[in-house]
Structures are given as structure tokens and as C-alpha cells.
Amino acid sequence: MEIVACDIGGTHARFAIASVEYGHVVALGEPVTLATADFAGLPTAWEAFAARLGRPLPRHAGIAVAAPIDSDVLKMTNSPWIIRPALIAERLGLESFALVNDFGAIGHAVAQLGDDAFVHICGPTDVPADGVTTIVGPGTGLGVAQLLRRAGHAHVIETEGGHIDFAPLDSIEDGILAALRRQYRRVSIERLVSGPGLAAIYAALAAIEGRAVLQREDRELWQAALAGDEALLNSTLDRFCRILGAVAGDLALAHGANAVVLAGGIGLRLADRLATSGFAERFAAKGRYEARMAALPVRLITHPQPGLFGAAAAFANGVSG
């Protein structure tokens, strides 16, 4: 059965044709990426995808949206698009569809993708067949989801775990928290473990050392940090990875997880850096539970379009729109 897979973010809307059979995604076609700023809303972007494809679109869809989906009107964080779930079928000419949060889609992707779609980060290499997997993905914000596998069934639980409080673990992070508290009354982990979080850590470390910093856009700052040519940025990136490790460990402990998956474009860019940054040590540093944490496998998803794959997987898994 062919369906449209759609992954709608604040900046881009991605589309592809997927094939699903017997509850699984068996193929995902070439993705088409459109800038949300170029379209008035989802219906016109949908038409543009159909025009690119050159044929009528299937009348079934899996749709992932970068917004909470528990209301009658979905408002995008970084886009003027507004989506009304009750009107999706009518406006897009669909007979059926699945609608999930964008990070819920990542959870569905993790549930169905094979081992070749992941790389090992730390802990054991064997992944338990059943139990809870914590999924953490730094991007524009910080996505968090749970995947419960039990007796051959997979259940995805969407959360807002990225908004829990940041807990510093040493005097440097005390200073980072103090710097951020001058801007925000409450500092969540998303303020640091996200794309914009690198700049926040960089500015705080510069202030601690009494340095002036050159103001750069987030993209430029990430490029410079990954290039590894500046000492302060090297320290900033290591600190980012260590905080990510601590956060991932906290979430896994809270979820009662027996495995962890890192997701998101930032995770992919950090794949080589995580092993040497102190991520694993911070992940496991949970006091009396250190041995338990060190026994959890941590993997990174490497599929190029997990949002699209997961939107299709949500449909295949019977998530109702």
C-alpha cells in the first residue's frame, strides 16, 4: 500500500512516497524538501509535492508535525503555518491518515528500523528485545520520547521531557546556570542541549574566563566548533556533549529504560566527538546506580530521514488521525 509520508518542521516540510505492508514500512521513496516560508500552509505545499511527483498522490498519509498534537489547532513554533487536524482529510483529499508529533515519529522509526540504521556510542552492544528505550534528540529544541517494547508490540509515548530543569554537576556548570539565570527565571535542559544551546554555553564559558566572543549565527558557530580550530569552542563542544550525556542518563533513569537512542541532526554531527568528550562518563555518573547505567546500550540513529520513515511507520502501526 502506498502512502504519503510528511514531516513538517518550522523551517522545512519534507514529503516522500512510502510503501507499507503488514504493519511495517517496506520502502521510502526519494524525499522532497520544501521551505515552509514559501507556502501559505500544508495544502499548498501538498499540491507542490504532487506537482513535483507528476501524478496524483495516494489517499493515505502519515504526518509528523513539530508541535503538540493534543489540541484542535496546531501552531508551529517557528512557522506561521496553522494546522487543524479535523480538516486534514478534507483539505488533502485523504481517506485515512496518522498524525503524530515530530519526535513521536522518531520513536516509531526507532521501533521499526533495523540494526544497520544505528551506530554504537557506549555501553554494551547488545540491545534488549523488550523494555523501555529512552529517545533523546537535540535539534532546534530537545525532543524526548519513550518506546516500550513488550511481547512483539511497540508503543511510542511522546513527552515534553526537554523542558525539565537543568542540574549542574560541577562549578563550571554552576557558572553556566548562573549566566543563564540572568536571562531566564527558569533554565530547562533545552536551553543548553539544543542547537541554540551551544551559543549559550560558549557565551557563559567566555564570561567565566573574561574573554570577549565574536557574535556568530548558530549555524556558523556549530561549523566552527566542529572544525576544532578554536580552543574555547573545543571546550564548549566537549561541555555540550557532557551535559547531553548527563541529561540522557537522567532521562533513562527516570524512564526505567534499558536502552537509549540519540537522534536528531546534531547527534549525527557529534557522532565522532561523543566517544572522546566525556559523554559516557557523565551518562553513567548516577551515584549508587552507576553500574546499572554503564550496562545500558546507547546508540545513535543514522537513518537520513527518520522523521519521514517514522511518520510512515506510525501509519503502518495504526496510529489514528
Strand order in the sheet with 118-122: 118-122, 298-301, 259-262, 131-138, 142-150, 153-158
Pairing verdict, β 2-8 and 12-21: antiparallel
Q: Is 11 annotated as a binding residue?
A: yes
User: Half-sphere exposure (CA, 13 Å, Cβ side) for 99?
Assistant: 20
Q: Is 102 annotated as a binding residue?
A: no
C-alpha torsion sign, points 161, 83, 94, 12: negative
Between CA 96 and CA 102, with CA 101 as vertex, the angle to 5 degrees is 110
Q: Is 197 annotated as a binding residue?
A: no
Distance of CA 275 to CAs 123, 233, 280, 281, Å? Answer: 11, 17, 7, 10
Binding site, annotated residues for ATP:
6-11
Binding site, annotated residues:
6-11
